Amino acid sequence: MVIDGKRVAASVIDDVKAASAALEKDAGVKTGLAVVIVGNDPASHAYVGAKSRTAQECGFNSVQHTLPEDTTQEELAGLVAVLNADEGLHGILVQLPLPKHLNPDPIVQSIRPEKDVDGLHVVNAGKLATGDLQGGLVSCTPAGAMFLLKRWHGNDLSGLNAVVIGRSNLFGKPMAQLLLAFNATVTIAHSRTKDLPGVCRNADILVAAVGQPEMVKADWVKPGATVIDVGINRIAAPEKGEGMTRLVGDLAFGECAKVAGVITPVPGGVGPMTIAMLMANTVIAAHRKAG
Ligand code: GUN
């Protein structure tokens, strides 16, 4: 069974469109999202373009700020301050990674928590960590992965072992907190974990976010497990012609699909869900502000 993340994301986006239209009709409020990108990373530009386009599709006021590679810390902080103060904007996202000379932490932490639709501010991370799933904003990729898991397993993961490979603030840690909130028994594995394949074989739910193309092999997967691939890696694809590339996840998809009970593909799995959850967070932020 291969989960169609594109189809699930489309249904979330339909709900977001309806919610933003209702807010505009009932309260005269147009949902606003600002996306900021610094520099020339082509993958980041592709993601940000998709986010801005989807925001327009949802009927939002969609604002994109594209800053040059040599933007200073002060210039970026200044832009965030302006966006924080803009009453018409309900969500602010600064695309990561930033160019090397910029420090992302003070930038992310300067976004007003109620506009932090990425869920990366310590206030939002703290609410998630203390089990307050309603009061804050949850990071979009873990929220999207959890949305898919819940459609398959329901709201109660009691008795299931979940292994998350990866411990980033953007994904691994919030993913583990979400799984815990839904009663899974959670292990966070990472590059320093001993016998990673053995740890993974114990997982009823295996979530891979390592950033290594096709690293997780079939013999890491417990037969019948639910396997969620969060990786997006571009690799050479000489079979498509010289200089061509293709996207693959962190799982060796073909072989893992034979062992797993349920699996997400790349592309078309968690990726579209990330954007859908960003839209959902933004309309939630707008509804909260409107009261
Ligand atoms: N870069 C890759 N994924 C993300 C994300 O979810 N949010 C931000 N801000 N940057 C990213």
- Interface pTM (ipTM) of the complex? 0.94
From the list 224, 230, 232, the residue with the least C-alpha distance to 258 is 224
The answer to whether 259 and 280 have CB atoms below 8 angstroms apart is no
Residue 168 in marked binding region: yes
Residue 166 in marked binding region: yes
Q: How far is ligand 1, taken at its centre, from the CA of residue 94, in Å?
A: 8
Q: How far is ligand 1, taken at its centre, from the CA of residue 169, in Å?
A: 11
List pocket residues of ligand 1, CB cut-off 6 Å: 93-96, 118, 140-141, 170, 274
- Is 250 among the residues known to form the active site? no
Give the pLDDT of the chain (291 residues) as one tens digit per residue: 999 999 999 999 999 999 999 999 999 999 999 999 999 999 999 999 999 999 999 999 999 999 999 999 999 999 999 999 999 999 999 999 999 999 999 999 999 999 999 999 999 999 999 999 999 999 999 999 999 999 999 999 999 999 999 999 999 999 999 999 999 999 999 999 999 999 999 999 999 999 999 999 999 999 999 999 999 999 999 999 999 999 999 999 999 999 999 999 999 999 999 999 999 999 999 999 998
Count H helices and E strands in the chain, helices first. 10, 10
Q: How far is ligand 1, taken at its centre, from the CA of residue 182, in Å?
A: 24
The answer to whether 206 and 228 have CB atoms below 8 angstroms apart is yes
Between the alpha carbon of residue 128 and those of residues 119, 176, 280, 285, the distances in Å are 9, 10, 17, 16
Residue 167 in marked binding region: yes
CA dist., res. 229 & res. 227, Å (int): 7
Strand order through the sheet with 91-94: 61-67, 32-38, 91-94
From the list 284, 279, 274, 290, the residue with the least C-alpha distance to 113 is 284
DSSP code for 240: G
Atom of ligand 1 nearest to the CA of 140: 6
Name all domains of the chain by residue range, CATH numbers in brackets: 27-115 (3.40.50.10860), 140-271 (3.40.50.720)
> Which residue's structure tokens are 């309260």?
27
- Is 15 among the residues known to form the active site? no
Phi, psi for residue 207 in degrees, rounded to 5: -120, 120
Q: How far is ligand 1, taken at its centre, from the CA of residue 93, in Å?
A: 8
The distance from CA 129 to its chain's CA centroid, rounded to whole angstroms, is: 17
The one catalytic residue in 116, 118, 204, 250 is 118
> Which residue's structure tokens are 């919610």?
19
- Which residue has a Cα nearest atom 1 of ligand 1? 96
Ligand 1: residue of 80, 105, 108, 118 to mutate (most ligand atoms within 8 A of CB) is 118
Helix segments in the chain, DSSP class H: 5-27, 42-57, 73-85, 104-110, 122-129, 140-153, 172-181, 196-201, 253-259, 270-290
The H-or-E segment that residue 91 falls in is strand 91-94
Atom of ligand 1 nearest to the CA of 278: 6
Atom of ligand 1 nearest to the CA of 171: 6
- Which residue has a Cα nearest atom 8 of ligand 1? 95
> Which residue's structure tokens are 């459609």?
151
- Is 118 among the residues known to form the active site? yes
